[in-house]
Amino acid sequence: MKGTGDTESAGAAGDRTAPGGPVEAAVELPDYAERVLGVAELIPPGKVMTYGDVAEWLKDEEDPRGPAPGGPRQVGRVMALYGGAVPWWRVVRADGVLLPGSELRALAHYRDEGTPLRGAPAASEGHIPRIDMRRARWDGDDGGRGAP
């Protein structure tokens, strides 16, 4: 799997932009990054997995390359660096809070896909809703280990 990116700048959720606009260049991804992005691509529309869910999925997966070496922070790092080419909005924080800096873009995706949301507390900045983790969380149990 190839990612997109440049070394000049990296935005939220793996966006790659340069002053003149988006820059796309083929990047050879580390094995772990490929595995994380592969899981992100399997999450169905309207569903989410947490960074920890993805890490656990990869640790449990039977893979001839051996168990995955990372945890939630490593999954987050992969998504930040390389996630722009996959549905990054489907890999989320465990508390359902939208990705800081990308809230409105993510919210548009969630609404388009019918992802269950919860209203934001009135005291929260901008009144941005959260993901309803109880209803939106996907455990990958809809077809065996061919999907997370």
> How high is the pLDDT of residue 16?
38
Distance CA 122, CA 94 (A): 21
> How high is the pLDDT of residue 145?
43
Backbone dihedral angles phi then psi of residue 137, each to the nearest 5 degrees: -65, 130
Tokens 């399997």 correspond to what residue?
42
pTM of the model: 0.74
Distance CA 143, CA 147 (A): 7
- Residue 68, burial from CB neighbour count under 10 angstroms (0-12, 13-18, 19+): buried
Q: Can you give the pLDDT of all 148 residues of the chain as single tens digits?
A: 444 433 323 334 444 333 333 444 556 788 999 999 999 999 999 999 999 999 999 987 766 666 667 899 999 999 999 999 999 999 999 999 999 899 999 999 999 999 999 987 666 666 789 999 999 999 987 644 444 4
> How high is the pLDDT of residue 18?
32
Cα-to-chain-centroid distance, residue 83: 7
Distance CA 116, CA 48 (A): 10
> How high is the pLDDT of residue 84?
94
User: Residue 126 has which token pair?
Assistant: 């901008």
